Structure 1
Amino acid sequence: MLVAYDPIFAHPLPEGHRFPMVKYELIPAQLLREGVITSEQLHRPVPLDEATILLTHTYTYWQQLQQLTLSEKEQRRIGLPQSAALTLREITICQGTIDCALHAMQHGVALNVAGGTHHAFADRGEGFCLLNDFAIAANYLLHHRLVKQVLVIDLDVHQGNGTAAIFEGKPDVYTFSMHGAHNYPFHKEVSDWDVPLPDGMNDEHYLRTLSDCLPVLINQVQPDIVFYLSGVDILETDRYGKLKVTAAGCRQRDELVFNTLKQHGIPCAVAMGGGYSTHVRDIVNAHCNTFRAAAEIWG
């Protein structure tokens, strides 16, 4: 099992923006301490090349990121102050997701400690997302004719609006988003299949809904690869999630996705997405559960 990680994931932000970014340091440390992974499984991506970025994002927007010329309004929409370090972090994360996809196609599964930047559009960033790593990785695989059909399973509590917009009208990437109906973004884009969830949804209802959707997705899309966004902001402890899913329920969600994909022989590249519980230990434990489940199911 390959785990994409780079220390830069945790260090480009000003102090006031560090929480919960500290999770990017704590997750691999916890996994190593438990023996879920070894240091040999940690992979440090190199920064992504421009040609691959431009398969997904506009040249004008990429120049704004390179030259640090985003307006104050554009930076507020992203929610982070622009910096060269932040752009470097983002392109490193995106290469990590490509590397995970390539590894998963050979070995079944690979996980990016970061990623899941699904609010980034082709021409702008939003919601702490500068570049869309799933879109970039999917377009890379399609451009190099490594796959014909991609499925994005986005289970972050927030709709994958950027991903939906990027792939609108593009049948070779099917976007599925199961998210809080009354949560950010308040203007939703149209995925191929959106499942809006009511506030206060518990484990039983959440898992039943997902269980009903997964077989339909697999049979209808018949993907060559799945990009799975395993956000843990569905937790009842999350400050913004509005759902009532327990840590055990969140792990069952991951197991349900992984077991389904393994049974059908579909490779899976995973990114962590969001998590904003009051206590960082809740965030880290839930994310680590995703890695634990992958290690157990793929062996």
Structure 2
Amino acid sequence: MSAVQNRKEDKQPHRTNLYFDIPSTPWPIVYSPDYNITFLGLEKLHPFDSGKWGKIVNFLKEELMINDETIVRAREAQEEDLLVVHSKRYLNKLKWSFIVATITEIMPVAFLPNFIIQRKVLRPFRTQTGGTIMAGKLAIERGWAINLGGGFHHCSSDQGGGFCAYADITLAIKGNGHERDFMDDNRVYILDAFNRYIYPGDGYAKRAIKWKIELEWDTEDSEYLAKVEAHVAKALHEVTPDIIVYNAGTDILDGDQLGGLAVSPQGIIKRDESIFKAARIHKIPILMVTSGGYQRSTARIIADSILNLHHLHLIDQRLI
């Protein structure tokens, strides 16, 4: 559920062109219209709502929380940014439409020219990845940040999958997916809550999870929230991280065909509230990414959660 970076060792961050000064006036909420994926209707062949990010923004605008001038516009991660984590070999593999079709789990993509795939599929992923890197810097500076996209946790440095083509969490921290990248990195402490019968299927990657919250099928609000809150509290007494990277997926929602849990919309809102409260109590910067979730209602839930964080003064526009 969340990755916690603990940089006790003196190690210089990797270089990236996405670290630049951002004015203090906008909210540390990162988004670009380029996040959204639409091409020939093929995006409808995957259960993921590939336009959810724009819907979140529209809901927040309707509630008058933000407008186009009060949020940070994400920039696309370029090859030199991606090479901080990814190999040239892996990036070259993405020039094959079949490889991208496998990663996105939309097989008709294999038959499209790759230049279309680069523009219509991979560019949105690269822009969300750039947004996560930018949000990481903002979180350190302001105490919190939210990338309305990102959270591609099924992608590692040399392998994509599960609708994840770039390892944005790993990229944000360095300068089954991202867990492989931190297998031997003691500076990174991973706490994960998951359906024990589904995720992570990669047994090798699972070894990198320092604190496992293994859940049963159809776990509901009371049990889920109690376990998350208790284990997060214990973990934050065990480590003193420099930043929390919070992978706030909504695939725990009741009825999600891939998550297998039964948490309500209000349960998701309370979960996010508890994580931000923990970060505030311990005075730890927090970066939130929106990650997976395979129902059309998730955009409304994410927006309601952000509005709740604002209502409770767990996020605000001022520098912290």
Does the CA-based 8 Å contact 2:265-2:301 persist in structure 1? yes
Does the CA-based 8 Å contact 2:56-2:299 persist in structure 1? yes
Q: Which residue of the partner structure matches residue 204 of structure 1? A: 222
Letter paired with 1:131: Y
Matches of 1:227 and 1:13 in 2, distance apart?
31
Matches of 2:69 and 2:142 in 1, distance apart?
15
Q: Which residue of the partner structure matches residue 304 of structure 2? A: 289
Deviation at 1:123, TM superposition (A): 0.7
Matches of 1:211 and 1:239 in 2, distance apart?
25
Matches of 2:132 and 2:157 in 1, distance apart?
17
Is 1:272 aligned to residue 301 of structure 2?
A: no
Unaligned runs of 5+ in 2: 1-26
Is 1:17 aligned to residue 43 of structure 2?
A: yes
Deviation at 1:78, TM superposition (A): 3.8
Does the CA-based 8 Å contact 1:262-1:298 persist in structure 2? no
Matches of 1:9 and 1:180 in 2, distance apart?
28
* Corresponding residue to 2:281 among 240, 263, 283: 263
Matches of 2:52 and 2:72 in 1, distance apart?
17
Does the CA-based 8 Å contact 2:37-2:43 persist in structure 1? no
Q: Which residue of the partner structure matches residue 233 of structure 1? A: 251
Deviation at 1:77, TM superposition (A): 4.3
Q: C-alpha root-mean-square deviation of aligned residues, in Å?
A: 1.8
Deviations, residues 173-198 of structure 1 (Å, cap 9, x unaligned): 21221111122543342222222211
Is 1:110 aligned to residue 110 of structure 2?
A: no
Deviation at 1:264, TM superposition (A): 1.1
Does the CA-based 8 Å contact 2:103-2:165 persist in structure 1? no
Matches of 1:14 and 1:221 in 2, distance apart?
48
Matches of 2:200 and 2:161 in 1, distance apart?
9
Q: Which residue of the partner structure matches residue 98 of structure 1? A: 133
Matches of 1:26 and 1:78 in 2, distance apart?
21
Matches of 1:13 and 1:219 in 2, distance apart?
47
Is 1:214 aligned to residue 248 of structure 2?
A: no
Q: Secondary structure at the match of 2:245?
A: strand
Does the CA-based 8 Å contact 2:38-2:51 persist in structure 1? no
Matches of 2:39 and 2:291 in 1, distance apart?
17
Structure 1 21/74 Cα, relative in aligned 2: closer, same or farther at 3 Å? closer
Q: Secondary structure at the match of 2:177?
A: helix
Q: Structure 1 vs Structure 2: percent identity of aligned residues?
A: 26
* Corresponding residue to 2:88 among 59, 80, 84: 59
Does the CA-based 8 Å contact 1:163-1:175 persist in structure 2? no
Letter paired with 1:216: K
Bigger Cα Rg:
2
Is 1:84 aligned to residue 118 of structure 2?
A: yes
Matches of 2:249 and 2:269 in 1, distance apart?
11
Q: Which residue of the partner structure matches residue 187 of structure 1? A: 202
Q: Map 1:138-217; keep pairs closer than 5 Å.
A: 138-140=173-175, 161-188=176-203, 189-190=205-206, 191-217=209-235
Q: Secondary structure at the match of 2:189?
A: strand
Does the CA-based 8 Å contact 2:241-2:284 persist in structure 1? yes
Deviation at 1:115, TM superposition (A): 0.4
Higher relative contact order, structure no. (Cα contacts within 8 Å, ≥ 6 residues apart): 2
Deviation at 1:121, TM superposition (A): 1.4
Structure 1 16/87 Cα, relative in aligned 2: closer, same or farther at 3 Å? closer
Matches of 1:13 and 1:203 in 2, distance apart?
37
Q: Secondary structure at the match of 2:194?
A: strand
Matches of 1:221 and 1:16 in 2, distance apart?
44
Matches of 1:95 and 1:137 in 2, distance apart?
9
Deviation at 1:22, TM superposition (A): 2.0
Matches of 2:157 and 2:39 in 1, distance apart?
23
Does the CA-based 8 Å contact 2:38-2:50 persist in structure 1? no
Structure 1 51/220 Cα, relative in aligned 2: closer, same or farther at 3 Å? farther
Structure 1 3/14 Cα, relative in aligned 2: closer, same or farther at 3 Å? farther
Q: Secondary structure at the match of 1:39?
A: coil
Deviations, residues 83-104 of structure 1 (Å, cap 9, x unaligned): 1122222221111111111111
Does the CA-based 8 Å contact 1:164-1:192 persist in structure 2? no
TM-score w.r.t. the length of structure 2 is 0.80
Matches of 1:266 and 1:238 in 2, distance apart?
31
Matches of 2:164 and 2:40 in 1, distance apart?
16
Deviation at 1:12, TM superposition (A): 4.7
Does the CA-based 8 Å contact 2:243-2:284 persist in structure 1? yes
Instruction: Single out whichever of 38-47 and 121-130 deviates more from structure 2.
Output: 38-47
Unaligned runs of 5+ in 1: 141-160
Q: Which residue of the partner structure matches residue 69 of structure 1? A: 96
